[in-house]
Amino acid sequence: SQQGEEDPQALSIQEGENATMNCSYKTSINNLQWYRQNSGRGLVHLILIRSNEREKHSGRLRVTLDTSKKSSSLLITASRAADTASYFCATIISSGSARQLTFGSGTQLTVLP
Amino acid sequence: NAGVTQTPKFRVLKTGQSMTLLCAQDMNHEYMYWYRQDPGMGLRLIHYSVGEGTTAKGEVPDGYNVSRLKKQNFLLGLESAAPSQTSVYFCASSLLGASYNEQFFGPGTRLTVL
C-alpha cells in the first residue's frame, strides 16, 4: 500500500481561483515533498517541508504540514492554465531507508481558462 | 547543462526480449533512482544507487537489474520482458539522499511489452 494518498483524485477550477490538494500518510516522516507532472513529462520538484516545520511558502505555493494528523496540504493561489498538471506528494519515512521517497497516486488539476 | 536524460524515449518489445534503458546526469549527483509509473498510480521505486559501483533494491525490483559503473550513468536492464512490465520508466538523481534534497527527474521512457 502507498504511504501517501492525495485527495481529491481530480480537481477542476477556473483560472484565478485557488486550488487546494491534500495528502495523508500513514507512518512518521522525515520530510514531505510535493512534485508536479505535466502530461507526458517527468516530475518537477515544487517544495520540501521538514517534519519540524508547519508551513512553507514558495511564490504562489503554500504548503502546510500537520504531523499530528499525518496530513499535508498544497495551496496554489491565483491559478493559471499553465498550472494544469498532476500533483504528487512524496514522503521519506523515518524508520526506513533515508534514500527512498514514496509517492502518492496524485491529484489531477485542471485549470480552465 | 542537460540535467537528467533518458534513452530511448519509446520502445516496443515482444515478450521474452531484453533491453537496457540508459539514464545519464550531468549534475555530479551521488544518488540515482529508477521508478516505474503505471496509469492512475504514483511512482514506485525499482532500484537505486547511492554512488558509483553501488546498487540497492527498491519497492518493486523483480524482473529488473541495474548497474552504476560510472557516476553519471545508471542503467536499467530487463532480461526477459513480460507484459506486466509495460509502463513508463523514470530515472531521477539527487545530490544527497532524499532526506536532504529534492530529486531531479528525466523525461521518461514509455515501454510496451507485447
One pLDDT digit (tens) per residue for chain B, 114 residues: 789 999 999 999 999 999 999 999 999 999 999 999 998 778 999 999 999 999 999 889 999 999 999 999 999 999 999 999 999 999 999 987 766 778 999 999 999 999
Chain A touched by B34 (CB under 8 Å): no
Q: Number of A:B CB contacts under 8 A?
A: 60
Q: Give residue limits of the domains in chain B.
A: 4-113
Cβ-defined contact of A41 to B108 (cutoff 8 Å): yes
Mutation test of the interface with chain B: which of A30, A99, A103, choosing the one with the most B Cβ atoms within 10 A? A99
Would A37 be classed as within a structural domain? yes
pLDDT at residue number B102:
87
Shortest CA distance to B89 belongs to which of B73, B109, B107, B74? B109
Would A26 be classed as within a structural domain? yes
Chain A touched by B24 (CB under 8 Å): no
C-alpha cell read off for B57: 533494491
Total domains, chain A: 1
Name the residue among B35, B59, B97 with its Cβ closest to that of A99. B97
CATH (domain of A76): 2.60.40.10
Would A54 be classed as within a structural domain? no
Percentage of residues of chain A with pLDDT beyond 70: 91
Would A24 be classed as within a structural domain? yes
Q: How far is B15 from chain A (nearest CA, A)?
A: 25
Q: Which helix (H) or strand (E) holds B10?
A: strand B10-13
Name the residue among B50, B56, B103 with its Cβ closest to that of A101. B103
Q: How far is A103 from chain B (nearest CA, A)?
A: 5
Cβ-defined contact of A45 to B42 (cutoff 8 Å): no
**Please, what is the end-to-end C-alpha distance for chain A in angstroms?**
36
* Residue-level length of chain A: 113
Would A53 be classed as within a structural domain? no
Cβ-defined contact of A48 to B102 (cutoff 8 Å): yes
Residue with cell 533494491: B57
Would A33 be classed as within a structural domain? yes
| Chain B residue at shortest CA distance from A102 | B44
> What region, left, alpha or beta, does residue B40 occupy, with left being phi > 0 and alpha being psi -120 to 50 degrees?
left
pLDDT of A2 strictly over 80? no
Q: How far is B108 from chain A (nearest CA, A)?
A: 6
- Grade residue A75 by pLDDT with cuts at 50, 70 and 90: very high
Name the residue among B35, B44, B102 with its Cβ closest to that of A33. B102
pLDDT at residue number B9:
96
Would A23 be classed as within a structural domain? yes
What is the pairing mode between strands A29-37 and A85-93? Answer: antiparallel
Shortest CA distance to A34 belongs to which of A42, A25, A23? A23
Cβ B76 vs Cβ B46: under 8 Å: yes
> B4-113 has which CATH code?
2.60.40.10
Q: Which residue range forms the structural domain that includes residue A83?
A: 4-41+60-112
